[in-house]
Structure 1
Amino acid sequence: MGRKFMVRTDQQSLRFLFEQREIGLEYQRWVFKLMGFSFDIQYKPGAANKVADALSREYVNQTELTALISSCGARWADFIPHIQQDPFIKQLHEDINRGAPVPKGYVMDQGILRYKGRLVIPAKSKLVQQLLKEYHDSTLGGHAGDFKTYQRLAEEWYWPGMRRQIQQYVRVCVICQQNKSSSLSPAGSTAVATLEEQLLERDAILDDIKANLLKAQHRMKKYADAHRREVEFQVGEPVYLKIQPYRQKTLARRVCEKLAARFYGPFPIIERIGPVVYRLDLPPSCKLHNVFHVSQLKRAIEVEPAALLGTRIAADSSGRTEVLIQWVGMEDWEATWEDYEQIHDLFPAFHLEDKVKVWARGNVKNQT
């Protein structure tokens, strides 16, 4: 506080620490704490940082090794005789000096045996226990897990079987056992006699309910089917379709919907989907789904148009053309006004288009 200092970093985004416009709550807390200090942030790329720290220098002498373990309460020189007298390390020294083949990764560096750049010490050395205490039990170690402790030790040290030894040391650590939660599944079974009985009773009740519902469903179906009749249609057979005139207006329009017909068509059946479901060939302009239940269909008694008696424009705003059709076997007064497009599609052999043109030229009556 009160002194300005320089912060050098290889993270380029930190240069804009106080220039962000949209920041989160955690970012705000950090900025609030840093506002009490006077400092400048200088960016320096990582590749330009050529100064190595003490632990990453290429050559390590005895003074630096002593610094590495000084926090353990011992000196490096105290362990050198014990390390050199170890049979395994002594044999590797001799093999390397006379040029004999050694396991891959072992090299001599200024009289110090290394394995993949790490210092090699005996597995039964007292230094191993001191290193484990320093890297796990100390304040800097923080009682980390076995993998984290192994990663930190493996940066500088190596001894045969170190991974298993570290796992065993962390597993028996009293502090870790008392304060860390287990990552294993909960022990024991949740089977409780009273609870098991209640669950069995509940399952039995549910089975009874399902059976009763199924029985009631069959009974209701039986009573409903008693008032119905079996009807089947064949593919290609024309049928009339029952629709709701107030809602389903894309199939047929009437001036007075209240007095509109109950059935429209006929439309040919193009597919039988199920025992009581059929697909109809509706006009392309119709927006209804063309699959219907058999209860909405009625068999059409085929009739043929006999003559065209008149044409007119529909009274509604659709601008459709309607034609007055006299049917075969019926009187003139029984003629009905039908939609031009519908008659044209249902009875193509009637040649309605030609008849409309001829009738329009030869009839001078008022077309209403």
Structure 2
Amino acid sequence: MYADPRHRPMTFTVGERVYLKVSPWKGVIRFSKRGKLAPRYIGPFRIRQVLNDQTVVLDLPPELAGIHDTFNICYIRKCKVDDESQILPLQDMKVDSSKKLVEEPVRIVDRKVTKLRKKEISMVLVEWKHSLGTNLTWETEELMASRYPQLFNLDQIPRTESPLREVDL
């Protein structure tokens, strides 16, 4: 009575590519985002061995050496992408000792001052290094100056005054 009537059994074969579910892991953070913006799956990884109908062994890269390579099938999802250019190479990504992915900023593209009711917040548009292109995010200038002081060459950063823009903080 409580079983899902639309449930399909998942079968995997050796050499197939799958994504690994990381949403319950608290240490995996990408682009310094937490909560609902954190990644749910990483990969794809190749299946090295199928132990039984519920357990598979994945071929993990050396960056994830601290993680055991045997997983239940509830933690993996089939990769449906056939194009190899859509897959992010892991050798360009840096992982620190707590297994967090480290993303590096390339440059500051733009500046603006956001005016709230009683204070002004200086924001900078940061271009982040990414394997398939660029990623632009608005960050507070104070935070970026404390973490990455090498980015602040004041002669190259354009300044945009926009007091009417609203920013969610």
Calculate the TM-score normalised by the size of structure 2: 0.47
Q: Report which structure shows greater RCO (CA 8 Å, sep ≥6).
A: 2
The structure with the largest helix share of the pair is: 1
The structure with the largest strand share of the pair is: 2
Higher-Rg member (1/2)? 1
